[in-house]
């Protein structure tokens, strides 16, 4: 499930992190699951070893991810 601040930023009556599971008329598959990837705008932070660290909602701003990236880069450089 995507990580990020909850809220209805689009004003459609549902939290952004859950929009794909609620009345999304543009989804071309069924059944829709809560953990489906919402198009191609979600972000995935992957460790230097290829392990998933975090998944972010399509509404998370890239700059907000920097605090999560910095420790991975510092750890990779010191290894």
Q: Does residue 11 belong to any structural domain of this protein?
A: no
Name the residue range of residue 36's domain.
16-78
Q: Does residue 8 belong to any structural domain of this protein?
A: no
Question: In the numeric block, which tokens belong to residue 73?
Answer: 């880069």
Q: Does residue 31 belong to any structural domain of this protein?
A: yes
pLDDT of amino acid 66:
93
- pTM for this predicted structure: 0.57
- pLDDT beyond 90 at 49: no
Band (pLDDT 50/70/90 cuts) for residue 29 is low
Q: Does residue 4 belong to any structural domain of this protein?
A: no
Q: Does residue 5 belong to any structural domain of this protein?
A: no
d(CA 66, CA 72) in angstroms, rounded, equals 10
Give me the chain's average pLDDT, please. 74
Phi-psi region of 23 (alpha: psi -120 to 50; beta: other; left: phi over 0): left
Establish whether the linkage from the previous residue to 20 is cis, with ω within 30° of 0.
no
pLDDT of amino acid 25:
59
Q: Does residue 10 belong to any structural domain of this protein?
A: no
Among candidates 59, 64, 63, which has minimal Cα distance to 6?
59
Q: Does residue 71 belong to any structural domain of this protein?
A: yes
Q: Does residue 29 belong to any structural domain of this protein?
A: yes
Quickly list H helices, 1-79. 66-78
Band (pLDDT 50/70/90 cuts) for residue 35 is confident
């Amino acid at each position: 499930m995507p990580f990020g601040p909850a809220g209805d930023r689009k004003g459609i009556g549902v939290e952004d992190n859950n929009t794909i599971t609620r009345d999304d008329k543009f989804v071309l598959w069924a059944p829709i699951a809560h953990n489906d990837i919402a198009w191609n705008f979600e972000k995935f932070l992957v460790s230097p070893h290829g392990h998933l660290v975090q998944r972010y909602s399509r509404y998370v701003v890239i700059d907000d991810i920097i605090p999560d990236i910095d420790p991975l880069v510092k750890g990779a450089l010191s290894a």
